[in-house]
Chain A
Amino acid sequence: MSFPSFVRVQKRDRIGNPVFDANGRPVEGLAINPIKPHVRSYWLADPNQTLVVLPASAGANQVGAVRELNFLIDSQGHFDWTSIVGLSTGAFMLEFFDPGSQRRLQNRPINSDCIVGSAQRQFRLPEPYFFNIGDAQRQLKCYLRDLSGAENTVRLNLIGRRIYHKEAPPDVALDLEKTFGFGSRTYSYFLVPNETKSDGTVTAVTGNGTSSFTFESDASADTEVQKLMVSSTGAFTFTLRERATNRLLMPNAVHKDNGFGYAEFPFIFPDTYLLERQKQVIMDVTDLSGSSNFIYPVMAGRRLQLIP
């Protein structure tokens, strides 16, 4: 939630004492929030490369050599990351790693079509990801591999807000620090099926054939799923089923266009779906295209970081 520009505050007299009316109620006035000028929209980019050229993979739906973007957050203030935008000449796989907290933000590499939007339609993270700067700079590493079979020029930026607490007056700085603290809270996470290989590639579903994908919330945290995205080379139908209860989330198969979006227009659950730790959701798919179908489904959600 963004900071309000207006705040309602109790009026004070000239020497700073709070003012009350004849009935003893505080007398209020509307003021511009003193915190707000110290918070700015911010585009995070790799300071050493505005774009990266990925070597071509051996063919479509195969991955090429890995390249790295190093998003550096200088020490001027905290960064609250909220969305992903990018441009590329072809599809690619990407992985995020936060070395500061030793945290991976996905269980396998993600297809760019599922989580990379544009300025017009940013891909909003299900939960802002907070980088506490402290007294040093922070990093977010991103590993990219081509998936298109051709040399791939990628521009990738992360959008959010900078909180310039260090330059704020002491009372405002203190308030900002109290508000954000250590950023110990939930964080965004992307789930892809366990059947996905460690480099992000998938085995194609045969034409008119069926296959099953397993989404699993591992033992470290519960996952609250908010959005569904997919990239595929053909149409398919699917059902979602909870392994533990055998409960289906739909009575019959649903076309992918009615249940999955993509980065710009993701499908958003009417109510978030809690996938508890070590619980699984099985996605049974049936190809409709009649050809080999490479399917890259992604669930986006947030996890609760437990503080012992």
Chain B
Amino acid sequence: MADQRRLPYADPANWARARNTPGARRDFTTHDYIPGQGIPTWIKDPKTGLIVVNELKRYVKPFWLTTEDSEVITLQPGEVTDFIPMTVDGKGHFEIFDAFFKSQREEGFTVELFDPGNVGRDRPVLMNREVHVATIASGGGTISPTFNFDAQGSPGRPFRWPQSFFMNVVSGTGTLMARFRNLNTTQTNQIRFVLVGRRWYHLQAPWPIANRMEEIFEEQTRTLPYFFTTDQHVEIEGDGSLAPIMRFGDDAYVEWCKGMAVSTGAFQVRIVETSTQKRLMESPVHSDLAFGSGEFPMLNWEESLFEPNYQLTFELDDLSGDDNVVWLTLGCRKIKVDPKELELIRPGTSPGRP
């Protein structure tokens, strides 16, 4: 049993081995956990200076979360399913990073996700409306201007959510509910949907490590990933125009990190902030130059932070000449407002320089 006074840094039983590890004296962190990164395997014990195995690491493992009962779901033409549970067992928390899918039909399917365990705790849903699966997950392959990326290699191009999502198996139920809709209206569609991340086996860990894990979880309570799509279904007539809106809601700040789109034809877009009429592009931009896909999303070099209750208007013009169904998704993270924040930040200077 590890020495609880020193955890989570090192098991003293390993110190002798650590002393005999040649060259392992520098370039190691003393942090057992760095937000947004993998947990370091070897760390420098701040007391002894020795390079030791991170005790935290021993209780954190990769994990794939599938739909319950069967990982394959057969959708009837145009079918909308009931909410299907995706449940993790009670051995430890689950932190979601990536999403993958398979679809038998080219049209794909839509997804809605919510966390029933957190209803009433203000973290219920992950999208404002159903989104096309290829805008929040990798799995369909993609075509870039110079290369055709086959679906076979999709796991090598994971769609990383803008923010990891913590599923608490103690205070929540450890379940996500998923609803799917077959976009092929004439044929059945065999689909698969998988969420990938890491399990925090805190219930199997010694209590100091378990406490440390809980502490890390609590740091994440103000943010969650969120996928915004247009408020209405978008179908542009051939060579026509449409200006759907996307409203961010008044419950949180929204940070837009990634842009994805799936459509049946090319289109051009101009994004305008509805209230300020501020344009994000002076003249319309081709869809391939403004939105990526679930495999290669358009990454905003500067994430845009919108105050609560913001609204964007997407001025869309079809370029294909045919009726064009457009699924737009913005990969965002929601940041809950802290009522004390105004006291923190004002009056005074702005402290946010990079």
Contacts and interface: CB of A to CB of B under 8 A. Distances in A.
B289 A155 contact: yes
Interface string A27-56: 001111111110111111111111000000
A43 B341 contact: no
Contacts of A37: 305-307
Main secondary structure of the interface of A (DSSP, over half): mixed
Contacts of A160: 301-302
Interface in A40-88: 40-50, 72, 74, 76, 80, 82-83, 85-87
A115 to B, nearest CB: 13
A81 B284 CA distance: 18
Interface in A190-212: none
B354 A4 contact: yes
B343 interface: yes
A118 B144 contact: yes
With a 10 A CB-CB cut-off, give which of B259, B297, B299, B338 has the most chain A CB atoms: B299
Given A43-B280, A85-B289, A160-B301, A31 B345 contact: yes
A3 B350 CA distance: 12
B145 interface: yes
Contacts of A41: 256, 280, 300-304
Interface string B131-171: 00000000000101111000000000000000000000000
Nearest to B147: A264
Interface in B293-347: 293, 295-307, 335, 337-338, 340-341, 343-345, 347
B292 A29 contact: no
B90 to A, nearest CB: 30
Contacts of A161: 301-302
B156 to A, nearest CB: 13
Contacts of A172: 350
Contact of B285 (A35, A82, A157, A164): A157
A171 B349 contact: yes
Contact of B280 (A6, A40, A117, A124): A40
A255 interface: no
A5 B335 contact: yes
B341 A31 contact: yes
Interface residues of A, number: 66
Given A43-B281, A171-B349, A33 B305 contact: yes
Interface of A: 1-7, 9, 11-12, 14, 16, 29-37, 39-50, 72, 74, 76, 80, 82-83, 85-87, 113, 117-122, 124, 128, 155, 157, 159-161, 164, 169, 171-172, 175, 178-179, 262-264
Given A2-B354, A33-B350, A37-B307, 9 more contacts: A36-B305, A37-B305, A40-B304, A45-B282, A47-B282, A85-B289, A118-B288, A122-B298, A155-B286
26 contacts: A1-B354, A4-B352, A5-B335, A6-B335, A9-B344, A11-B343, A16-B348, A29-B341, A30-B338, A31-B351, A32-B345, A34-B350, A36-B352, A37-B307, A39-B305, A50-B284, A50-B285, A50-B286, A72-B282, A82-B301, A119-B290, A119-B298, A120-B288, A155-B289, A160-B301, A171-B348
